[in-house]
A and B are shown apart, each in its own frame.
Chain A
Amino acid sequence: METVQAPTSATMDDSRRWKTIRKQLPNYLFILPHYLFFVAFILYPIARGLYISLFDWKIMGKTQEFIGFANYQALFKDQIFWESLGNTVQFMLMTVAINMVLALFVAAALKQSFFGSHTLRVLFYAPAILSVSVLGIIGIRIWDTQLGIVNYFFTTLLHGPRISWLGDPNLVLPALSITTVWWTFGFPMLAFLAGLQNIPEPLYEAAKIDGANTWQAFIHITIPLIMPTMLFVTVTQFIAHMQVFAQPYIITAGGPGNNSRTAVMYLYETAWKYFRFGYASTISVVLALIMIVVTVMLFYFMRRRTEY
């Protein structure tokens, strides 16, 4: 007589797991292309960069010399790296701050519907669609000491002195920052506009009934409720502007002296002008670490003040 063995809980679990997998398989197949690209073009380069940073890597070397953390030790003593990192942080702080404040105020103004408001939204966003090369050429034309439009107005209308905007160590980063704000300002403005449009109108009406003026409503309703957008904008702007490269590369070539040389520019030069690929990888690893730490801190501090 045949005996049928009752299925154990383990075999039932296995069969349930297989059923689930079979059911979910199409979903995994849909996301598979993304993960293949993610592994090939993001994860692998990150791992490879970490690996190369431990070597004195020569572009045509058949064997590479392992030097452990020597590149990291050298980086901490590298004056140019710290100067370029300092320039990057200054540039980032200026650009993010101006972008945020300006974008928020313009978005608040453009949230209202008035004649031409749609056109203004488009016009404010317009510079964002320019390529960085075009921005660079415009930047050179704007700030040129002899023929630049800024000096033209400054000297002819205001009778001021001819200022070397890109030649003065104290003015070069603000000049680059203002150029970048003009270029990138559209994106945070749109994000803020979307965030502002999500704030329920009755809140403002209730505040108005309670006697709050426009400024008080802005401070006590708009700002707290727009914090999620602000967090998003701050983090994306921080990451984008810490990686600034093309604007100083095209407009000032890092000068005068090292005054507008940024960290990513230095990374590029180290790899492709000096052929120090191991050291360049070290710079990229350290930069990535700095950005990860600051981003986590931003999330931590800004989330505490976020109201959903």
Chain B
Amino acid sequence: MNIASSTKRLWLSLSLLVIMAMVLSACGSAAPAATSAPEGGAATEVATEAPAAAAVPTPVVNAFGTCDDPLVLWHGLTGTDGAVFATLLEQFAKENPDVCINSEGYPWDIFFQKYPTATAAGQPPDMVIFHAAEVQQYADQGLMMPLEDLMYKDGSVKKEDYNPTLIDQITVDGQTMAVPFDNHGWMLWYNKDLIKKAGLDPDNLPKNGTDLIPWAQKITTDVNGKHPTDEGFDKDNVQTWAFEFTWPRYTVPSTLWQFGGGVLAPDNKTVILDSPESIAAIQYWHDLMYKYYVVPPAVPGKMWAGDLYKNDRLALMWEGTWTRGFMNDNPDVWAKSGVGYLNSLAPDGKGAVKFDSHVMVIPAGVDDAGQAKAKTLMAWLAKNGAAWANSGQVPAVISVQQSLDTEKYPSVAKAAEEFNAIGSTDMASKYFIEIQTAYETAVGNALASPDADVAAELKKGAEQIRAIVARP
């Protein structure tokens, strides 16, 4: 009797647990990568950033118009970007009743799994949108069609309408492989109230890395109100930070260029990650973290810069153009914010900033009918990109950028000006993602602790990248 009742109890308990597990599994989410930014680049992996629990990677599927053979469009424009993009597609469907669209938005890491596998299996979507930085690698793998003849030669779009650096980045063996849709990248967001509270002038920010240090020490305070220059400053319990090491994907290249360094030289073959200039750039960040205590250490588990900023605990924030969406959601934060060019950290005040672009691409293997539909949509989006500024991103066509209402889109107008003045795109390499992983890892190691040897870590990373670029 005992055995029977125990067994029954055991089965009952197990069944309950299985049900609980199923419920938990349904509620849980697969968060495959720790990302720092809500939008922007290929957020495939940020080893040095806070491993945040990402939202459930559910594709956002929308149909625009009605027809038997819709254009299938895959992209990673979700969140605010996705909402604004949907309004554009809706408008397109109204104006082009003969072309209907199935738009599928995925988190970027899911997108980058689906796109190559579907294309290799001979079932690609008719059109995709991803980043200019990845074009060289995807083109090298034969995953995309050249658009030189389809889009540029017949004048559907014109190369001179776009930032020339960007066109270079998406050109492979003389063939332009994509049509830019926007420019997005890093800019400076600053909390005017916090700066004023420290007795400083928000309209007169530090012009170079040398000026930044004493300025930042005046802003940074611990829980007792002491500054890093004060006796007894508690570096483990800082209340207000002056500055923050945000997403390495943008912060690292921008800083390296400001110091005259980089990952690869302009020839895209010579590795300069361990050059004196590059070492000085990363050493500067290391000093801000562990010598001057004005920047929180760049280790996983730290709070996202946006949360610190929102709670008046961060004065200067390097973040993306897409932060405009965050500001729209937090008008009180926007009311006390200013936006400007990325401040230079170099001693000589040299300005530089990384920007990228969402580009429109036709995957390899798309049939003629699919190409024709994609061509119609790409040409329309290129001409009607002004509304894309509602997402905070900069429309790619320069004439559209110049026509933007600066009152309505202050951050977009400023970003457009910044990218055209001091902006550069990332390296153009068929090994881009591998090189990116290598330099982000090296910089992550260099900034992981006070004892880290910056020069040695960058040298190690540079050796790895040399081995990568040396491949045939």
Contacts and interface: CB of A to CB of B under 8 A. Distances in A.
A143 interface: yes
Contact of B51 (A161, A251, A273): A251
Interface in A228-261: 249-258
Contacts of A174: none
A195 to B, nearest CB: 19
A273 B10 contact: no
Contacts of B399: none
Contacts of B1: none
Interface stretch (B42-50, B275-283, B366-374): B42-50
A66 B395 CA distance: 45
B448 interface: yes
Tell me the interface secondary structure of chain A in the complex: loop
Contacts of B44: 273
Given A59-B120, A257-B441, A169 B448 contact: yes
A79 B464 contact: yes
A58 B141 contact: yes
B236 interface: yes
B31 A133 contact: yes
Contacts of A148: 301
A122 B17 contact: yes
Nearest to A135: B28
A60 interface: yes
Interface residues of A, number: 49
Nearest to A169: B448
A104 interface: no
Contacts of A290: none
Interface in B8-60: 9-10, 13-14, 17-18, 21, 24-25, 28-34, 44-48, 51-53
A26 interface: no
Interface stretch (A5-13, A32-40, A124-132): A124-132
Contacts of A143: 301
Contacts of B180: none
B359 to A, nearest CB: 19
Nearest to B301: A145
Interface string A74-85: 000101100000
Interface in B438-472: 441-442, 444-445, 448-449, 457, 460, 463-464, 467
Contacts, number: 154
Contact of B34 (A79, A119, A129, A253): A253
A275 B141 contact: yes
B303 A146 contact: yes
Contact of B47 (A119, A126, A253): A253
A60 B25 contact: no
A245 to B, nearest CB: 11
B431 interface: yes
B239 to A, nearest CB: 14
A145 B14 CA distance: 34
Contact of A136 (B31, B299, B437, B464): B31
B143 interface: yes
Contact of B45 (A165, A168, A253): A253
B300 A250 contact: no
Chain B, interface residues (CB within 8 Å), range = 35 or more
Interface string A52-65: 00000011110000
Contact of B142 (A58, A253, A255, A256): A58
B434 A273 contact: yes
Given A145-B299, A167-B301, A251-B51, A134 B444 contact: no
Contacts of A122: 10, 13-14, 17
B30 A136 contact: yes
Contacts of B445: 169, 256-258
Contact of A146 (B47, B120, B143, B302): B302
A216 to B, nearest CB: 30
A140 interface: yes
Contacts of B9: 118-119
B293 to A, nearest CB: 15
A137 B52 CA distance: 9
Contact of B25 (A119, A131, A161, A255): A131
Given A59-B143, A145-B301, A257-B444, A252 B28 contact: no
B364 interface: yes
Q: Report which residue of A162, A166, A257, A272 has the largest number of chain B beta carbons within 10 angstroms of its beta carbon.
A: A257
B236 A162 contact: yes
B444 A60 contact: no
B6 interface: yes
A286 to B, nearest CB: 18
Given A250-B30, A275-B116, A137 B53 contact: yes
A197 interface: no
A173 to B, nearest CB: 13
Contacts of A164: 297, 299-302
B433 interface: yes
23 contacts: A59-B116, A59-B119, A59-B120, A59-B143, A118-B13, A119-B13, A126-B17, A131-B21, A136-B30, A137-B53, A140-B31, A146-B302, A148-B301, A167-B301, A250-B32, A253-B45, A253-B47, A255-B34, A255-B47, A256-B444, A256-B448, A257-B445, A273-B45
Given A250-B51, A257-B457, 14 more contacts: A118-B6, A122-B10, A122-B14, A137-B28, A137-B31, A140-B52, A146-B303, A164-B300, A166-B300, A167-B297, A169-B449, A253-B34, A256-B48, A257-B441
- Closest 8 pairs (CB-CB, A-B): A255-B47, A167-B299, A145-B301, A60-B142, A134-B28, A257-B445, A133-B30, A129-B21
Interface of B: 6, 9-10, 13-14, 17-18, 21, 24-25, 28-34, 44-48, 51-53, 112-113, 116, 119-120, 137, 141-143, 236, 297, 299-303, 364, 431, 433-434, 437, 441-442, 444-445, 448-449, 457, 460, 463-464, 467
